[in-house]
Structures are given as structure tokens and as C-alpha cells.
Amino acid sequence: MRSLIILKESIVWYSTSVLNRRQPLNGSSILFLVCIFFLSNSANSQTTGNAAKVTSVNTKNSNSTLLSDTASAVSNFKPGQKEFTIALLLPFEGSKAFINNLDDPSTYYFPEESQLAAAYYQGCVFALDSLAKSGMRARLLVYDVGMDTTALRAKLFNGELKNADLIIGPVGNNSLRITTEYATRNKTWLVSPFSTTAIGSTPSPYYVLANATMKTHCEKTIDYINKTPYQDKLILIYKKRPWETELASYLKEYQLSQQAEGKRAIEFVELTDSSVIKYTHVKNVLSDSGRNIIIIPSNDETFVRSVIKQLNGLAEEYLITVYGMPTWTNFEHITTEQFAKVSTHITQNFWLDKSNAAVIRFQQAYAGKYAMNPANFAIKGYDQVLYFGELLLQNGTGLDGAFSKHNSSGLAEHFAIEPKRLPGSTEEIWYYENKSVFMLRMEENAWKKVSE
């Protein structure tokens, strides 16, 4: 038997994801979110005072569209086999949904956070069904977690979560910090499904980033560039703001470390400005005798658009290749033609090859199960829960010794998890990080994988 637990929570802030969240809702998606809305408010109606009382639902006997799928594989459980408890702490935001008439899109509202969480949950359930066929016993706890840290603390110390073998989420930085402290104290594995940032500066040896940090993205960019022919200089174009300066520092410091290990020396030419870089400044640093490599460590679409537009004008005279940031897939005002004209490359944690046979089979099975196509967050939920679930099944909770032996590729994510040591230490683990990054290039109006 599996249990589903839904709690009501307040609004959540979540880390910017490179996945596109603006996906239209179809009828099945709406029905799924409606189920969450009613269950969230039902759970809340049983909460008294400041106590975080939960509602457990036996999914085996449920006729709910939301819940019935979670019990589909219990027949494969073996007597005496360990049952693993997995907890999802996600921003379902049931309290923020507005429903009047589902036949009229203008009379109902579901926050983007709800859609993110619902899609991830569906992918998670699909993965657990697959794991059950391999004999895994799993109990799934689902919590609606937002920015109310007092409510979060109450949840963390209830009897259910104390028994969790794996916690996935939450997605806000403050909530993550609290949950990381809890996981470290209780030696419970905690996976951050979306964040690309280490939380805090103290050792958290049970904290796992399922996505590479931006520092790793910058390092992978330099590694890829070093394998390609170009002039012995790299042009950095960015605005002097703390975040962009930090990204530029990652690039320069890593290249210097590579030179110290015998890699070729490279000159960095930096163009920075408090406003848009001037056309003449860019042209003056370009070479007409070879390919010009330009890195733009910026997430500011207005700034990037201005630079890309200028480079498009120069691409008739010069060979130009641009390297950018993962967030560029979300840009709405730079055309694919503009990106392609300057051979734009970006790094990504997530890349889905829709022509891949395994992806097609998954999409067909998913559509047959849920009567909808999987959103990217559903695929992310499937890949992550399948990977960590397989680790639990094969190794129990001793994951620290299993990561190095289990590099694995999912449908859209690759997992190569490594320990990150505390600065100045060769032993103490700060956190674990999935170091896998895809390099994509804009070709034929789409981002195509060129390396991983």
C-alpha cells in the first residue's frame, strides 16, 4: 500500500529553470490540477491551530484520477522486503487555484508552480510504477510546501517524514536551507530537483543537487571550447553586475587552472559596460583571420538581444561562434535565425531527443496512462525518481558509495554525481552534484545536442 499526503501551503519562490513552463493546459491536465485543488483544501480543513495535521489517502481503494495510479504495482512487492519511503515537497499551491467554470479558461486559474509540481509528481508516479516492476516497495509521501518556513518545520518533525529514506524538494532557497539542515541532522538523503545552487557553506553530506551548478556549466563551456580550433583569445561580453561578474570569474579562473595543467594559454578580451556594448567596440576586437569565440555570461535578455543583433550584423565579415547561458532557451525576443547566424551554443542539464525510440515509447505509455502528453517537468520527475529509486533498490540508503558506480542516462538527463569538497579540505564533503551537462547548438530552428 502506498500513501499520498497532500498539505496546503503558501506561495513558493523557486529557482529559475531552463525548462519552458509556459505549456498550455489540456483537459486532462486541468482535471489533474482540480484534484490537487480539492485535496489540498480538504487537508487544510482538518488542520487545527498551529498543528500540521495531514491527510493520508489509501490509494489502493481510491477512484480518484489523481491517486489511483500510485497503487498500480503493489502486486510485485515481496514479503519481508524493505519498503522505502520517498517524500515529495513541492509547491502544488492548491490554495491559490481559482475554479469557477472549467469550460471557460477565463474563469479558472492554476499557478505555474502548481503545473510544475503536478507534472513532476506524475513523472514520479510513473517512475515508481516502473521500479515496482523490478520489485521495489515504495511509500510515497506528497506535501504541498511553499515559503511558510514555520509550517515547513512542523512538517519536517512529524512522524511520517522522520521515516523518509529520500526527500525530493522543496524548491525555494529558504525552505531548502531548512530542509538541508534537517536532512544532515537525520542523515536523510535530500535531492534538490531544480536548484543549481549550493545552500549554505556548512557541510551537507546528504544534500544532492540533481542539476549542475552554474560554475560547472562555465567549466564545461571552457572544456568544450578547448577542444575546438580558434584564435588564442576569448572575448567576454557582459555587464558589470555582481551575477554576471561572478560568471565571468568562473570562466577565467577555470581557464587559468587549465593552463596551469599544461593546456594552451588563452588571452581573455573583456568588453564590459553599464549599458549596451557599442557596435564599434565589438568590431575592434574581432579577428578577420580565424574564428572568433565570444562568451556572453548574461541572463539579461535585453542585453543579450542587443549583443546578438550586433554580432549578426558582423557575421557577414567575420567568423563568429557565441557561447551563452542555459536560460537562453527561455528568451522570447531573439529568433532562432539570429542565434543560428552566429553559431550559438549553450549548456543544459536537460535535453530531450524526441526522435529517440525510448522517448517515443515513454510518451506513448504516458499518454495511454494519463491521457495527456508529458510536460518536460514530468520527464524530469521520471528521470530523477527512476535514477535515485534504482540506487535505493540496489544499495539501500548507502548512496554515498553508490554514486561513483552508477553514472546513468535517463530520457532527458544524464547522472554523473560527484562529491564537492569544502574549500581547503580534501576529505569533508560539502554536497553532492550532478556534474553532467549537455552542450547544445542552434541548428535548423532547434537546439541540437553536440556534446555531453
Question: In angstroms, what CA-CA distances link 195 with 174, 205, 260, 350?
Answer: 12, 17, 31, 13
* Domain 215-348, CATH among 2.60.40.180, 3.30.390.10, 3.40.50.2300, 2.30.30.180: 3.40.50.2300
pLDDT at 425 (0 to 100) = 76
Query: pLDDT tens across 162-195, in order?
Result: 889 999 999 888 999 999 999 999 999 999 999 9
Ranges of the chain whose pLDDT falls below 50:
1-23, 38-39, 41-78, 275
Strand order in the sheet with 438-443: 267-273, 233-239, 292-295, 320-323, 344-348, 438-443, 446-451
At residue 128, the pLDDT reads 95
Q: What is the pLDDT of residue 350?
A: 97
Confidence (pLDDT) at 17: 33
Write out the residue limits of the CATH 3.40.50.2300 domain(s) in the chain.
Answer: 3-212+355-437, 215-348
Q: Which three cell numbers stand for residue 379?
A: 520527464
Are 140 and 125 a contacting pair, CB within 8 Å? yes
CATH architecture, domain 3-212+355-437:
3-Layer(aba) Sandwich (3.40)
Where are the extended beta strands (E) located within 240-381?
267-273, 292-295, 320-323, 344-348
pLDDT of residue 92: 84
The pLDDT value recorded for residue 101 is 64
Residues contacting 397, CB < 8 A, separation 6+: 165, 189
- Asked if 230 contacts 293 with a C-beta cutoff of 8 angstroms, the reply is yes
pLDDT in the model for residue 356: 95
SS3 101: coil
pLDDT in tens, 17-57: 334 444 455 555 555 555 555 445 444 333 322 223 333 33
Alpha helical stretches, state H, 318-375: 336-341, 357-370
First-to-final CA distance of the chain:
39
